[in-house]
Amino acid sequence: MNQASREKSKFEALKRKYEAEIAIAKAELENYFESSVGVGDHPHLIESMDLLITQLATAEEKLECLLDNF
């Protein structure tokens, strides 16, 4: 594997990592928004959702930064 291939591989790995983090956060948030099942078992619902929003925003920001700069 040459240098260019290794660099492209690293770029793709980071891109896929951020895309996966975005997909996971969205799926979990959709579950919270669409399903009231288990809400009673989750006393810190808003805090959990806020954490997922933070994770989503961070991953989106990282992906944007990667795409804009490399």
Q: What percent of the chain has pLDDT over 70?
A: 90
Write the single-letter amino acid at 36. Answer: S
pLDDT in tens, 1-24: 798 888 899 999 999 999 999 999
Long-range contact pairs involving 52-58 (C-beta distance under 8 Å, separation at least 24): 52/25, 52/28, 53/25, 53/29, 55/21, 55/24, 55/25, 56/21, 56/22, 56/25, 56/26, 56/29, 58/21
- Taking the domains of the chain in order of start, what are their residue ranges? 3-69
Q: What is the mean pLDDT of the chain?
A: 91
